[in-house]
Amino acid sequence: MNKEYNWEDFPFESVVIVVEGKSDQQRLALVDSRLQTIATGGSAVSEAVQIELAQLEQTKWLMIFTDPDVQGERIRRILKERLSHPPIDLYLRRHEARSSRNKDKSLGIEHAQLETLREVLWSGMARITTESERQAQTASDLNASDLLALHLVGHPKARRRREALLEALRMGYVNGKHLLERLKWHQVTKGQLIQTLDQLESSDPSLK
């Protein structure tokens, strides 16, 4: 990402960031106290929190920034089913979410470097669009046969290739069954997918 971005241009007033717990809120407050956050209080996501977010999405952009683990993915699924408009997904790579003091501890936003968090938040700005722009966005042209042809499913190296791909795209991790859904959600086109895989294979020939 361009290191010369101007953090002061971040739309503090129009964005609400959804995290899992208070420790995540405290960590983001260190990034910038102007960031507006709401904690789900865990992977269950209470009805009260769901109602609050459903109301907020009428006037705010929601960014979901949960931990890169099973609980974090559950929160994303619950909220996407409840919300009327697609929220903006933000992801940390797993190594970015590990504690530097104890590598065996669970993954969490609270362990990430402040500059890393700032960059991930800034990357979400690129996906903030007006309603008309959202309707005009190009839909993903991917289908299941593309994933098979690109060895992302049904191949001995499929898991490694999926992990490398989703890591490069900052899209968390899903298994082969849910990969197409994740890529379509993020409007990844076939051309973009092929380009990313070519780059990954060039840097790591063992993925071929």
Residue 5 lies in a domain: no
Residues 112 and 190 grouped into a single domain: no
For residue 52, give the CATH number of its domain. Answer: 3.40.1360.10
Looking at the structure of the chain, the number of domains it has is 2
pTM for this predicted structure: 0.73
Residue 201 predicted with pLDDT over 70: yes
Q: Is the pLDDT of residue 76 over 60?
A: yes
Single residue among 135, 162, 178 that ends a domain in this structure: 135
The reply to whether 157 and 191 lie within a common domain is yes
Q: Which two tokens stand for residue 142?
A: 């991917």
Across 88-111, b (16+ Cβ under 10 Å) vs e yields bbbbbbeebbbeeeeeeeebbbbb
Q: Which of 7-11, 36-40, 71-75, 120-124 has the highest mean pLDDT?
A: 36-40
For 92-108, the pLDDT digits (tens) are 888 888 877 765 567 78
Res. 132: pLDDT tops 60: no
Average pLDDT over residues 73-88: 89
Residues 148 and 182 in one domain: yes
Determine the Cα–Cα distance for residues 95 and 120; give it in Å rounded to an integer. Answer: 14
Chain segment 19-55, per-residue pLDDT in tens: 999 999 999 999 999 999 999 988 889 999 999 999 9
Question: Can you give the residue range of the structural domain that contains 201?
Answer: 144-207
Q: Is residue 6 part of a domain?
A: no
Is the same domain home to 40 and 75?
yes
In a domain, 1, yes or no: no
CB atoms within 10 A of CB 205: 8
What is the band of 154 on the pLDDT scale with cuts at 50, 70, 90? very high
